[in-house]
Structure 1
Amino acid sequence: MRPTQPVDLDAIGLIYRHYVENSVATFELVAPDRGEWEHRLQAVRAAGLPFLTATVDGEVAGYGYCAPWKTRPAYRHTVEDSVYVAPHARGRGIGGRLLDELLICCAQAGIRQVIAVIVDDGADSAALHRKRGFSEAGRLRAVGFKHDRWLDTVLLQRSLG
C-alpha cells in the first residue's frame, strides 16, 4: 500500500475500465483516458486527500481514493470514497486494506464524514463498508441507467470524529 504515483495510472485505468465495461459498480459509461486520471490524481492531492495504490508482487492490484463529497465549502469535511480491486486480485483482502488506510488518512486530514455511494446490487462493496462501521444513510431509487436497467444506489456513511 502506497501513495499513487503517475506511473500507476495506466494500470489503474485498466482496472477501472473493467468495471466501467463489465459491471454497474460505476455509473460511468466510457472509461476515462490517461489525461483524466492525471487530473483526478492532481485534484485529490490538491484537496489534501488520499489516493492509494495496492500492489502484490510488484503489480498494481487495486486502488482507492477519497474526493470531496460536494464543492460547496460547508461540505469541506466530508468525502466520498472509491475503492477498486483488479479482477485477478479479488478475494484477497486488498479492498479492505485500501479502505482501512483511506479512513486513517482521512482522519489525519481532518475529515469528519466519509460517504460511500454503492449500487444496490453491490453486495461485496456494501459488506466491505459495513464491516468498517459504515451504516445506511439513504437510498436513491432508479437514479442510474446502465446495461439496459434502472439502478438504485445506497448511501453509506461513517463518522470519523
Structure 2
Amino acid sequence: MASSTLEESVRPAEPRDLRQIADIYAYYVTESVATFELEPPGVDEWRERYAAVTGAGLPFLVAEDEGRVAGYAYCSPWKTRPAYRHTVEDSIYLAQWARGRGLSGVLLDALLDRATAAGIREMIAVIADSGDPASAALHRKRGFTEAGRLRRVGCKHGRRLDTMLLQRSLMDD
C-alpha cells in the first residue's frame, strides 16, 4: 500500500470483513495486553458488536490492502446511560503485517471525522499501560489529553496493569 493511497484504503466495514477482523483481534487477545479480553471473540460475537456499533449510528471502519483487511477502527458508546450519548470509546487494531506504515493514524483520523459527523462530542481512549508508548503517542498527536489513570485494574499474562484514560473533545460548545 503506497502511503499516498492510505486514506483511500479506509472504508466502512461490512459483514464480509468480520472474519478478518476477528483474526486481527485474536492476536491481541492471546499475545498482548492491549486488550483485557482473555478469549478471542468469534465471528458471531463480532456480528453482534458490528450490529451494535452501526445500529447506534457510529462508525466502524476498515483499511484495506489488496483485498485484505489491514486494520480496523470503531467507536462504541462510552456508557449506556442516556446522558453519555455523545461520548464514545475508540478501538483501533492493525494486522501484524500492516504495522509501521502510519495506518493507525489514518484510521484514527477517519474515525474522528466520522464520529464528529455523527454528532459525537467526546472521544475516550482507554489504553493499557503496558510500557509501549505507541497508542498513547498516536492519540496525543491527534489532540487527546490524559484524563486519568486507573491503577492495577487489569490482570493479564501474569501482569497487573494500569489503564490510561485519554480524551478529546470533537466539538466546541
Query: Taking structure 2 as the reference length, what is the TM-score of the superposition?
Result: 0.92
RMSD: 0.6
Q: 1:107 aligns with which of 112, 116, 119?
A: 116
* 1:148 paired to 2:158: yes
SS at match of 1:21: helix
One-letter code aligned to 2:50: L
Report the counterpart of residue 167 of structure 2 in structure 1: 157
One-letter code aligned to 1:38: R
- Matched residue pairs, number? 161
Deviation string 1:51-110 (CA, Å, 9 cap, x unpaired) is 001011221100000000000000000000000011111011111110000000010011
* 1:29 paired to 2:38: yes
Unaligned runs of 5+ in 1: none
Q: Residues of 1 paired with 2:112 and 2:40: CA distance?
A: 26
* 1:137 paired to 2:143: no
Report the counterpart of residue 46 of structure 1 in structure 2: 55
Identity percentage of aligned residues? 65
Report runs of 4+ in structure 1 exceeding 4 Å deviation.
none
Unaligned runs of 5+ in 2: 1-9
> Following superposition of structure 1 onto structure 2, how do residues 30-109 of structure 1 map, counting pairs within 5 Å?
30-109=39-118
SS at match of 2:64: strand
Q: Residues of 2 paired with 1:57 and 1:95: CA distance?
A: 17
